[in-house]
């Protein structure tokens, strides 16, 4: 239907549907002769304009939500949320996001429009600010004037940051994941401006999308971390296999412990050494590693016990200032297993060698006759049976005898000699001529390895004295020192001076002659009559000539001592207590007493 001016009702309706200018719509309605319907037409125009604006906002909302799903890092997601919120609600002067921390408080992590550097990373204490109320209710909250609000518990730092940025009214919308508030999206203005209902709804819908994007970013982060861990584990497995192959190849090629420890040192970039089974160093850490089967951290690195088939073979010590990761610890423990097998193999070889050395030493020490093949074995091991060697005996009051025998044997092998267990201690035949020097060397070496007190005696080589007699002389010398109360010493038999008449079997006739000439009458009387004159005189001298003390030491009456001493005077002469005779008798009695004990 046409109207005046050629404008039809259809043109008016079309203008209502497409125009964005209200004044243009009024002109079209008037030209179509619909002046009476202008108010109604404008109502229709406003409704359509609202619907078009709402459509644009929703399109922007969903476009923003799609964009968020492409962001991976959490900080990027948070900043993107703040920027898109500012675009959706351009009337806000600032948009910012606070994320909930483990302590229950909230920290600003991203923002748009803030000027205060403090505000950009401010942290609110648990239970304070708008965040506490929003977290409790799970609902949006708008405050007309933040500084003067009495509906919240104020945090001075947050209040100061808001004041510095001149922000007055604030709208907070929760970011919720599975019903839990994980963050808050804020839209703030620098004057008192209430948000429209549409802005609140729009921001709430955006917050839901943002929460999903934030959760996706967190999950992507965990997935990426898991991927990196998997890659690191794969690299660790590769390194472990490579290390295992390298060490196995070394062992199969006949490498010794020192070569393998150098390789381990290069792999772990630290100092590596092996402790002996009897080492005192790191004893508690080694014991703990033996109990739990794992490497144990120490002040300077790690220690791992070595063992095979129940045998304790010492420990592997790694000295490093860098803590090892769990995979590297497993590599260290695996390395210790390989090293244990190598040490076990070498120990078996050493023990086999020890048995050969032990048999050779035992034959010499007991006066046996070496067969031809034994001469060849000794020669093959560098020991010259026809050369000059010193017999050494070691006595130790504490510790395991096996440890002393093992250490003595190892020392002898290192000096091209023979050694092993003997009598109440350990003995050795060492090439050389200076008994005193060798005694001191052996004492120092064994004391360093075993600790404790040691009596070391050495007998000088003598062409006319067989090896077993030499060793027996060294052994008797050690027994003499022990009887004299010495617990730690290193001497040669020659250095014993007068006492040599006791310990040297070749001088036994001299000792017998001396004793017969001095206390012979007393010994013969005791043997014939069952008396104890020798012991009485010996005790009398020891007690300094005190009759009462002598009686107490012998558990007899003083009169008995007087009668015995009278008999001694009758046998030896009245001058037996004169200085010269007393010294001679005392010496003879002391030599006899010591000879009985060795």
Residue 189: pLDDT band (50, 70, 90) is very high
pLDDT for res 337: 73
Structure confidence by residue, pLDDT tens digits, 401-454: 888 888 888 888 888 888 888 888 899 988 888 988 999 999 999 888 888 889
- Sorted by sequence, the CB contacts under 8 Å of residue 11 that are 6+ apart come out as 28, 32
Give one DSSP letter per residue of 24-82, joined into a string: HHHHHHHHTT-GGGHHHHHHHHHHHHHHHHHHHHHHHHHHHHHHHTT--SHHHHHHHHH
Of 303-307, 333-337, 476-480, which range is least confident? 333-337
pLDDT for res 50: 57
Determine the Cα–Cα distance for residues 570 and 565; give it in Å rounded to an integer.
9
pLDDT for res 28: 66
The fraction of the chain above a pLDDT of 70, given in percent, is 73
* Rounded to 5°, angle at Cα 109 from 108 and 111: 85
pLDDT for res 458: 92
State the DSSP code for 505.
Answer: G
Closest by CA position to 240, among listed 340, 343, 319, 333: 333
- Token digits of residue 563: 């009668």
- Token digits of residue 487: 């617990």
Structure confidence by residue, pLDDT tens digits, 310-340: 567 778 888 887 787 777 777 777 777 777 7
Give one DSSP letter per residue of 520-547, joined into a string: HHHHHHHHHH---HHHHHHHHHHTTT-H
pLDDT at 2 over 50: no
Reduced to 3 states (helix: H, G, I; strand: E, B; else coil), residue 170 is strand
Reduced to 3 states (helix: H, G, I; strand: E, B; else coil), residue 308 is strand
pLDDT for res 65: 56
Q: Which residue is it, tokens 């005996």?
A: 393
Chain-centre distance of CA 556, in angstroms? 67
Q: Residues 428, 431, 434, 439: what is their CA dihedral angle, to the nearest 10 degrees? A: -30
Give one DSSP letter per residue of 419-468, joined into a string: EEEETTEEEEEEE-S-HHHHHHHHHHHHHHHH-S--EEEEE---TTS-HH
Structure confidence by residue, pLDDT tens digits, 481-532: 888 788 888 988 887 766 666 666 666 666 677 777 778 888 888 888 888 8
pLDDT for res 66: 59
Averaged pLDDT of the chain: 78
Residue 308: pLDDT band (50, 70, 90) is low
pLDDT for res 403: 84
User: Which H or E run includes 247?
Assistant: helix 197-252
Reduced to 3 states (helix: H, G, I; strand: E, B; else coil), residue 553 is helix
pLDDT winner (highest mean) among 20-34, 40-54, 311-325, 405-419: 405-419
pLDDT winner (highest mean) among 26-35, 117-126, 247-256, 279-288: 117-126
Closest by CA position to 147, among listed 137, 161, 133, 134: 161
pLDDT for res 154: 92
- Taken in order 553, 559, 563, 566, the sign of the CA dihedral is positive
pLDDT for res 1: 44
CB contact at 8 A, 20 and 48? no
pLDDT at 173 over 80: yes
The whole-model pTM stands at 0.40
């Amino acid at each position: 239907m046409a109207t005046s001016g050629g404008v039809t009702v259809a043109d008016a309706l079309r203008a209502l549907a497409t125009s964005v200018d209200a004044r243009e719509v009024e002109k079209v309605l008037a030209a179509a002769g619909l002046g009476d319907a202008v108010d109604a037409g404008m109502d229709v125009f406003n409704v359509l304009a609202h619907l078009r604006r709402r459509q644009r906002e929703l399109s922007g909302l969903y476009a923003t939500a799609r964009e968020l799903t492409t962001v991976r890092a959490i900080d990027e997601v948070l900043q993107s949320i703040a920027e898109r919120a500012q675009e959706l609600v351009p009337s806000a002067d600032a948009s910012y996001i606070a994320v909930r921390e483990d302590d229950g408080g909230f920290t600003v992590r991203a923002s748009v429009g803030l000027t205060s550097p403090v505000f950009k990373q401010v942290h609110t204490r648990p239970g304070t600010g708008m965040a506490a109320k929003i977290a409790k209710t799970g609902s949006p909250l708008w405050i007309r004037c933040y500084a003067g609000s009495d509906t919240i518990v104020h945090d001075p730092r947050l209040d100061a940051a808001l004041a510095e940025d001149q922000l007055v009214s604030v709208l907070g919308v929760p970011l919720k994941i599975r019903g839990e508030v994980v963050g808050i999206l804020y839209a703030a203005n620098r004057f008192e401006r209430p948000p429209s209902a549409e802005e609140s709804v729009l921001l709430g819908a955006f917050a839901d999308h943002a929460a999903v994007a934030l959760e996706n970013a967190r999950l992507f982060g965990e997935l990426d971390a898991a991927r990196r861990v998997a890659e690191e584990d794969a690299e660790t497995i590769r390194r472990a296999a490579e290390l295992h192959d390298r060490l196995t190849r070394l062992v199969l090629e006949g490498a010794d412990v020192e070569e393998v420890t150098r390789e381990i040192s290069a792999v772990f970039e630290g100092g590596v050494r092996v402790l002996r089974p009897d080492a005192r160093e790191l004893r508690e850490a080694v014991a703990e590693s033996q109990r739990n089967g794992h490497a144990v951290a120490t002040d300077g690195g790690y220690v791992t016990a070595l063992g095979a088939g129940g045998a304790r073979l010492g420990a592997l010590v790694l000295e490093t200032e860098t803590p090892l990761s769990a995979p590297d610890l497993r590599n260290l423990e695996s390395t210790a297993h390989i090293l244990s097998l190598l040490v076990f193999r070498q120990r078996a070889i050493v023990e086999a060698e020890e048995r050969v050395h032990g048999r050779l030493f035992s034959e010499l020490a007991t006066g046996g006759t070496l067969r031809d093949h034994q001469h060849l074995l000794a020669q093959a091991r560098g020991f010259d049976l026809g050369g000059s060697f010193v017999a050494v005996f070691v006595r130790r009051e504490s510790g395991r005898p096996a440890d002393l025998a093992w250490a003595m044997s190892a020392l002898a092998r290192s000096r091209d000699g023979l050694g092993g267990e003997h009598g109440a201690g350990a003995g050795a035949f060492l090439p050389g001529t200076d008994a005193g020097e060798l005694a001191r060397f052996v004492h120092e070496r064994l004391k360093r390895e075993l600790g404790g007190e040691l009596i070391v005696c050495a007998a000088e080589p003598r062409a006319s004295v067989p090896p077993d007699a030499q060793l027996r002389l060294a052994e008797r010398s050690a027994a003499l020192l022990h009887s004299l109360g010495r617990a730690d010493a290193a001497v040669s038999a020659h250095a014993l001076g007068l006492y040599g008449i006791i310990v040297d079997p070749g001088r036994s006739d001299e000792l017998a002659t001396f004793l017969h000439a001095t206390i012979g009458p007393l010994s013969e009387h005791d043997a014939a009559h069952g008396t104890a004159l020798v012991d009485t005189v010996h005790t009398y001298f020891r007690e300094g000539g005190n009759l009462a003390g002598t009686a107490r030491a012998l558990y007899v009456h003083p009169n008995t001592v007087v009668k015995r001493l009278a008999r001694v005077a009758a046998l030896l002469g009245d001058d037996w207590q004169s200085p010269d005779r007393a010294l001679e008798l005392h010496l003879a009695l002391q030599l006899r007493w010591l000879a009985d004990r060795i």
